[in-house]
Chains A and B, each alone.
Chain A
Amino acid sequence: MKTAAGKKLYQALNITEFEYNEILSRLKRKPNDLETYLFSAMWSEHCGYKHSRKYLKRLPLGGTVCEGENAGGVLVGDHVITFKVESHNHPSAIEPFQGAATGIGGIIRDILAIGARPVALLNSLKFGKLTDKWVKHLFNGVVDGISTYGNSIGVPTVAGEVGFDKCFTDSPLVNVMAIGVVHKDKIKSAKAIPGNNIVLVGSHTGRDGIHGASFASKELNENSKEDRPSVQVGDPFMKKVLIEATLEILELEEVVSCQDCGAAGLLSSTSEMGSMGKCGLELHLDKVNLREEVMEPWEIMLSESQERMIFMVTDQGLDKVLNIAKKYDISGKIIGKTDTSGLYKLLWNGEQVACLPPALLTSGPVYTLNENEPKYISEYKNKEFQSSISISIEEGVKKLLADPNFASKKWVYRQYDHTVGNRTSLKPGEGGSAGIWLDEEGGVVGLTIDSNGRQVFLDPYNGAKNTVWESYRNLVSDGFNPLGVTDCMNYGNPEKDEVAYQFVKSIDGIADACKAASIPVVSGNVSLYNESTDLRVYPTPTTGMVGYTDNYDKLIKNSFSKNETVYLIGKQIDETSNIGGSLYQMVCYDFLGGSVDSVDENLEISLKDTIFNLRDNHLLDGCIDISEGGLFGALFEGLKSGNSGFESILNDSEITEKVLFGEITGRYLISVKDTNQTEKLLNNNKIPYKKLGKCTGNNIKLGNIALNLAELTDLYDKTIELEMAK
């Protein structure tokens, strides 16, 4: 078939000549038109991971439960905590409300497909500068989408991060992480087994989201808004019903496997199931319930209509499954069978319209990326930061607190139901991470999501490594032992050498960090082509990390209260410290450059052990890890939570921008009452430390500078709200 523009179909579908030849040689014949459509979706970057697959293999998986399934997990007692982070960047760039809403829908289905009840959501959002009108529209739309959808389905949104930088103006990042809980004996696989019925449950299939997978695999440009029909439309009510129906269906022994319909809908779900089980499938497309009167077979296969699940069911189980669908008033339809042919066969009114091995669809080409260091790396590294005497410490503090990157995100999380589910032990603002009570086992699961694009841009290897350790420190500061990681890799166009280098080096950084921390990467997602004609996003690996503590009483507060003494434990900043990528340099000086601090893995692990020692010896009152905003940022957050002023014992030469705001790895602030015992323990554990001062009064006093806590808190709390009211 030729298209109107005289292009061949495969060309119009963005299949390259190389890939088309690959199809011909593997298939040993020309694909028909329908098959060409199938390849275009399954071999897209979004479904095929063709630029990333080779490198993702470097990530450590040891200890993962449900490896290779829709979402991996870690074991806590008899239960699996399953979790995954996924992006919905491209749809959110043009249709923020639906883009973000369906992003939640998609990740929830991944958790559901293995039989787990979703218990929490987190998100990592990046936008352009908040003063920009278009950015406000995107920010508001995304938050509204998450609020409307997440709140309705009854899964609490318990934590997240929001960042703002010019590079995200055209390509916002919307990463959503979901967490589920399932008993280890009740996990369902997505592997197809011959001799079963294929049942499609949930919404009817319509034309929405067709080509969504390919749309998510290209750069955005001024014509991208024309791709709006490629954005799926979500229905949270239907999703809530589907969650309950699915969990009831998955209780049945007669259901042998399950898969959700996400990107490339029915096509990717069924072909992946077939491919995983090396099993044949026969799908009768005319049996699929449709929303439109007439749809072509290729449209049915590529539709990304939301809220649909595929179940493989024995003959004996069919009635039970269909009755559950009926109880919930949703559609349930037998659309095919599995067999031993090893072939993926599509039928349309009895006639076979496509036939090929499913593995051909699911194992697309694998590209090798250019790993040479691009020029910009050394250029930025050699940029020298010049502090200006015209900006005083007081001004610096105020600028930092009023920067939307640092300021309170209460305007955002107040719109998310973070307590539904009756499990939220640590709410937004109460710690470095969120806590979900695992009453099934008696303890609390810790959850965090983090990224630091500035550092990764300057130094992809060390920056990515530190992203993982930042998540680690967030969990440790609240008293959780880190157990596993999920990552979402957000990058520009991988066909460009700079991006290729950023991607490969960050994978290596994440892999090395996880190995050193002895935690597996249980799941993940890659989002490429996040760039427009003018702007490319910082290379942004987002890491979601899960930890655990066996007792609620072992959680550590994030507040520094009156009469407690504050210590900095871990690395200290001196003249030689590398603080490249620090937020204050960007906020006060619009500067990005220099070297990024490298992580000392042994110190990180001893810091964790020491913090837990202090807690178990009842010496620890508060703990906060030091990240964005540096020492002062962490100190302010602790004092604000504890509602106390502070009197520092730092000498004047230490009250500098670099010491107060600089960002390096491997450190925490702690607050204690018994300084003697604390110092003894720190000395015994060979932890470097520095006493900073005492919590007292209503002002934060640093040398001869006195900052009013209430005034600073007001600035911190209201920045985003006021900006959004403009």
Chain B
Amino acid sequence: MKAGVVVFPGTNCDRDTKKACEHFGWETDYIWHDESNLDDYDIIFLPGGFSYGDYIRAGGLATFSPVVQAIKDYVKNKKGYVVGICNGFQILCETGLLPGTLSVNDNTRFICDVVGLATSDDKMPEAISLPIAHGEGRYFADDETLKQIQQDNMIFLRYQDNPNGSLLNIAGLIDRKNNVIGMMPHPERAVFKETGNTDGMYFFKLLEAEIK
């Protein structure tokens, strides 16, 4: 299993994500934002942070980077999985690789907390808890898109006690046709006993099962 963790200027969860991947024995590289060859990787992470400062709009500028252009081809050619966490989810929505958008939390403030999540994947327990840390995490889409998302069984994570006003309590989406996952919670921050929570492990185990 070989993982790549994309690093934009302003990314700040690159090290956390690599540390988590390596914990599961995955060979993991950083991928600098000007890279355009992703053929080596089974899975690519777009980690959390503030890519290019998130100026204009969260994830907005990153969509123009060479690496995101390469990710589009990677998805189109079904080379492997793409997982966007937090800012990565925002980038995937901005790029159109996942539907909808993530707007400012309904309390207008940054929220850092640990939240309860209901999962819809039978490879994970029904309920887990994961850390969140974002200012723009309110999932939003038009009615038609929301209908489609539900029809396609894309919602794999829902907030139990919605912290940010996300529609349908959406915390994470999975597109099984194209192998693209986006989520606001941070599974990579909940892998080690020393951080007081290991529920993120279920997500990494899910990925292992999907890719094998």
CB contacts (< 8 Å) of B192 on chain A: these are 422, 437, 439
Q: Are A422's CB and B20's CB within 8 A?
A: yes
Q: Are A236's CB and B109's CB within 8 A?
A: no
CB of A166 within 8 A of chain B? no
CB contacts (< 8 Å) of A552 on chain B: these are 193-194
Given A151-B110, A154-B49, A241-B9, do A419 and B194 touch, yes or no (CB 8 Å)? no
Interface string of A116-156 (1 = CB under 8 A from B): 00000000000000000000000000000001100111100
CB of B26 within 8 A of chain A? no
CB of B15 within 8 A of chain A? yes
Question: Which of A153, A415, A417, A427 has a CB less than 8 Å from the CB of B109?
Answer: A415
Interface string of B86-120 (1 = CB under 8 A from A): 00000000000000000000000111110000000
Say how far A554's CB is from chain B's closest CB, in angstroms: 12
Interface-lining segment among B37-45, B50-58, B62-70, B71-79:
B50-58
Question: Which of A152, A413, A430 has a CB less than 8 Å from the CB of B12?
Answer: A152
Name the residue of chain B whose CB is nearest to the CB of A418. Answer: B112
Q: Are A151's CB and B133's CB within 8 A?
A: yes
CB of A374 within 8 A of chain B? no
Docked pose: A422 CA to B188 CA in angstroms: 8
CB contacts (< 8 Å) of B29 on chain A: these are none
Q: Are A425's CB and B196's CB within 8 A?
A: yes
Q: Are A420's CB and B52's CB within 8 A?
A: no
Docked pose: A153 CA to B54 CA in angstroms: 12
CB contacts (< 8 Å) of B12 on chain A: these are 152-154, 240, 420
CB contacts (< 8 Å) of B135 on chain A: these are 151
Name the residue of chain A whose CB is nearest to the CB of B135. Answer: A151
- Interface size on A, as a range, is 20 to 34
Q: Are A421's CB and B10's CB within 8 A?
A: no
Question: Which of B20, B48, B112, B195 has a CB less than 8 Å from the CB of A437?
Answer: B195
Say how far A556's CB is from chain B's closest CB, in angstroms: 14
Most buried by B among A154, A415, A416, A424: A154
CB contacts (< 8 Å) of B194 on chain A: these are 423, 425, 437, 439, 444, 552
Docked pose: A427 CA to B131 CA in angstroms: 11
CB contacts (< 8 Å) of A423 on chain B: these are 194-195
Name the residue of chain B whose CB is nearest to the CB of A443. Answer: B194
CB contacts (< 8 Å) of A147 on chain B: these are 109-110
Q: Are B50's CB and A152's CB within 8 A?
A: yes
CB of B175 within 8 A of chain A? no
Docked pose: A574 CA to B193 CA in angstroms: 44
CB of B13 within 8 A of chain A? yes
Interface string of B181-200 (1 = CB under 8 A from A): 00000101101111110000
Name the residue of chain A whose CB is nearest to the CB of B18. Answer: A422
Given A154-B12, A329-B9, A421-B16, do A415 and B110 touch, yes or no (CB 8 Å)? yes
Name the residue of chain A whose CB is nearest to the CB of B112. Answer: A417
Q: Are B50's CB and A240's CB within 8 A?
A: yes
Docked pose: A422 CA to B22 CA in angstroms: 13
CB of A385 within 8 A of chain B? no
Say how far B62's CB is from chain A's closest CB, in angstroms: 12
CB contacts (< 8 Å) of B54 on chain A: these are 237
Name the residue of chain B whose CB is nearest to the CB of A422. Answer: B16
CB contacts (< 8 Å) of B109 on chain A: these are 147, 414-415
Within 8 A of B (CB), among A397-446: 413-427, 430, 437, 439, 444
Q: Are A422's CB and B133's CB within 8 A?
A: no
CB of A328 within 8 A of chain B? yes
Q: Are A419's CB and B186's CB within 8 A?
A: yes
Given A151-B133, A241-B10, A329-B9, do A424 and B195 touch, yes or no (CB 8 Å)? yes
Name the residue of chain B whose CB is nearest to the CB of A423. Answer: B195
Say how far B161's CB is from chain A's closest CB, in angstroms: 14
Q: Are B112's CB and A416's CB within 8 A?
A: yes
Say how far B107's CB is from chain A's closest CB, in angstroms: 10
Docked pose: A416 CA to B109 CA in angstroms: 10
CB contacts (< 8 Å) of B195 on chain A: these are 419, 422-425, 437
Q: Are A422's CB and B19's CB within 8 A?
A: yes
Within 8 A of A (CB), among B124-161: 131, 133, 135
CB contacts (< 8 Å) of A328 on chain B: these are 9
Docked pose: A419 CA to B185 CA in angstroms: 12
Docked pose: A422 CA to B193 CA in angstroms: 11
Docked pose: A380 CA to B8 CA in angstroms: 58
Q: Are A420's CB and B10's CB within 8 A?
A: no
Docked pose: A419 CA to B114 CA in angstroms: 10
Say how far A356's CB is from chain B's closest CB, in angstroms: 40
Q: Are A417's CB and B133's CB within 8 A?
A: yes
Name the residue of chain B whose CB is nearest to the CB of A330. Answer: B9
Say how far A128's CB is from chain B's closest CB, in angstroms: 22
Given A423-B195, A437-B194, A439-B194, do A417 and B110 touch, yes or no (CB 8 Å)? yes
Name the residue of chain A whose CB is nearest to the CB of B16. Answer: A422
Docked pose: A153 CA to B10 CA in angstroms: 7
A-B contact list, 7 entries, CB within 8 Å:
A148-B110, A151-B133, A237-B53, A414-B111, A422-B192, A427-B196, A437-B194
Known: A415-B112, A420-B48; 16 extra A-B contacts, CB below 8 A, are A151-B112, A236-B53, A237-B10, A240-B10, A240-B49, A328-B9, A329-B9, A414-B112, A414-B113, A417-B133, A419-B133, A419-B186, A422-B15, A422-B188, A423-B195, A424-B196
The 6 lowest CB-CB distance pairs between A and B, nearest first, are: A154-B12, A237-B53, A422-B16, A437-B194, A417-B133, A419-B131
